[in-house]
């Protein structure tokens, strides 16, 4: 049996495994269980629903605790919920484990939690032989009014696709931090520093993006493109909703810092881990008001395409109107580099 490459499980294998083992044991309180493109579970708790999410941080080492909190909070917010509680499983490599490293990760987690109004309420720590780098597995819990949650699978043909900020914020920050030696001398130091700082400005959080979009009304689906980049996020939304997507290539907001780093390292921005942008499917007549609402609060957003019937598949539309298939990435571009 062939070995699997680094990164997410191939979607075909994941689909098969979920079909075989992804049942919810008949519990009617599980409102939303596991599925392709659905990044959090929703559980009925009476007048409220609990939203639960787990996610590991495996690529970043610098500010890994900060990443763990924000990545989990993003997925909870994409269910329309407010993130409230966080648990962390902190795994340190035996060769690098020091009290200073442990404290640095705890301080990062604490700072990110305080910034989001989230409570650190538990977890686990361990020093692991043979581990090449620190890993933090975050577990994030949030709550939303019963029946008010949003899913990735809510998009319908005709809905407009909106993207906030641009791509790829997280990937650019990670590459600038982890591949600085390769980039220094090619990019000016000030530009490299700006890329590294994208972790905080514009930042990888989409909690506020999601809240503002929902307040504007007309949101059908929310998705947080992460590993595998925007292209994978689009495919996941399409799969979850049972629709196709047509995306206007010239409207894709590839950030100039991202383009410069990707060109130097031979990376495709569409397949680069993309936390920091929010993908929204909205009712056609509500798309512009959502964009305006986000813009009024300082969050750039643009309409990048629309949902179409499933049989049309997922395509990129060139300026001349011609279509070509949307790229697929079996692993994130960062995983390929590392």
Residue 298 CB burial class (10 angstroms; 0-12, 13-18, ≥19): exposed
Rounded Cα distance between 88 and 57, Å, is: 11
Minimum mean pLDDT range among 200-204, 235-239, 280-284: 200-204
158-183 b/e (C-beta count within 10 Å ≥ 16 → b): ebbbbbbbbbbbbbbbbbbbbbbeeb
Q: What is the mean pLDDT of residues 93-118?
A: 96
275 and 166 in contact (C-beta within 8 Å)? no
Residue 37 confidence (pLDDT)? 82
pLDDT classification of 25: cutoffs 50, 70, 90: low
The conformation of residue 153, written as its DSSP 8-state character, comes to G
Q: What is the 3-state secondary structure (H, E, C) of 283-323?
A: CHHHHHHHHHHHHHCCCCEEEEEEEECHHHCEEEECCCCCE
Across 56-74, b (16+ Cβ under 10 Å) vs e yields ebbbbbbbbbbbbbbbbbb
Q: pLDDT-based confidence at 3, cuts 50/70/90?
A: confident
Identify the weakest region by mean pLDDT among 145-149, 201-205, 299-303, 333-337.
Answer: 333-337
- Determine if the peptide bond prior to 202 is cis (ω within 30°): yes
Query: Taking all residues of the chain, what is their mean pLDDT, rounded to a whole number?
Result: 92
* CATH 3.40.109.10 is right for the domain spanning 11-145: no
Average pLDDT over residues 83-104: 96
Cβ-contact 175, 278 below 8 angstroms: no
Is the model's pLDDT at 255 over the cut of 80?
A: yes
Return the pLDDT at 24: 57
pLDDT band at 126 (very low <50, low <70, confident <90, very high): very high
Q: What is the pLDDT of residues 29-53, one digit of tens each?
A: 999 988 888 889 999 999 999 999 9
List Cα–Cα distances, 230 to 226, 234, 252, 331, in angstroms. 7, 6, 10, 12
Instruction: Give me the mean pLDDT over the 61-87 stretch.
Output: 93
How far is C-alpha 41 from the chain's CA centre?
Answer: 15
Query: Hey, which residues does 91 pair with through a beta bridge?
Result: 126, 135
Residue with the larger pLDDT of the pair 159 and 1: 159
pLDDT attached to residue 229:
95
The rounded distance, in Å, linking the Cα atoms of 152 and 32 is 11
CATH 3.30.1330.10 residue window(s) in the chain: 11-145
What distance in Å separates the CA atoms of residue 61 and residue 135, rounded to the nearest whole number? 8
Secondary structure class of 306 (helix, strand, coil): strand
Q: Which of 86-100, 111-125, 168-182, 316-330 has the lowest mean pLDDT?
A: 168-182
At residue 199 the predicted structure's pLDDT band, cuts being 50, 70 and 90, is confident
Residues of the chain with CATH 3.90.650.10: 152-337
- Which CATH architecture describes the domain 152-337? Alpha-Beta Complex (3.90)
Percent of the chain whose predicted confidence (pLDDT) is above 90: 73
Q: What is the pLDDT of residue 124?
A: 98
Q: How confident is the model at residue 335 (pLDDT cuts 50, 70, 90)?
A: confident
When pLDDT is cut at 50, 70 and 90, the band that residue 1 belongs to is low
């Amino acid at each position: 049996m062939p070995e699997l490459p680094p990164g997410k499980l191939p979607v075909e294998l994941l689909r098969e495994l979920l079909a075989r083992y992804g049942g919810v044991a008949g519990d009617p309180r599980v409102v939303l269980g596991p599925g392709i493109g659905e990044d959090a579970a929703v559980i009925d708790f009476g007048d409220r629903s609990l939203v639960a999410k787990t996610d590991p941080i495996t690529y970043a080492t610098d500010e890994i605790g900060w990443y763990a909190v924000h990545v989990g909070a993003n997925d909870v917010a994409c269910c329309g919920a407010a993130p409230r509680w966080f648990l962390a499983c902190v795994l340190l490599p035996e060769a690098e484990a020091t009290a200073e490293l442990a404290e640095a990760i705890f301080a990062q987690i604490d700072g990110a939690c305080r910034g989001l109004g989230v409570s650190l309420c538990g977890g686990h720590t361990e020093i692991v032989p043979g581990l090449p780098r620190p890993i933090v597995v975050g577990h994030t819990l949030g709550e939303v009014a019963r029946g008010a949650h949003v899913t990735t699978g809510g998009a319908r043909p005709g809905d407009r696709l909106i993207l906030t900020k641009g791509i790829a914020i997280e990937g650019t920050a990670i590459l600038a931090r982890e591949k600085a030696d390769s980039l220094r001398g090619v990019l000016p130091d000030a530009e490299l520093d700006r890329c590294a700082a994208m972790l905080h400005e514009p930042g990888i959080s989409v909690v506020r993006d999601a809240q503002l979009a929902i307040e504007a009304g007309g949101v059908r689906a929310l998705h947080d493109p992460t590993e595998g980049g925007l292209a994978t996020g689009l495919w996941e939304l399409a799969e979850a909703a049972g629709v196709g997507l047509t995306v206007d290539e010239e409207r894709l907001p590839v950030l100039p810092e991202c383009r410069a780093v990707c060109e130097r390292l031979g990376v495709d921005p569409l397949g680069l881990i993309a936390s920091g942008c929010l993908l929204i499917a909205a009712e056609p007549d509500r798309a512009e008001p959502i964009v305006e609402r986000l813009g009024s609060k300082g969050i750039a957003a643009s309409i990048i395409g629309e949902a179409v019937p499933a049989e049309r598949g997922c395509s990129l539309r060139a300026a001349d109107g011609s279509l070509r298939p949307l790229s697929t990435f079996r692993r994130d571009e960062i995983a390929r580099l590392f």
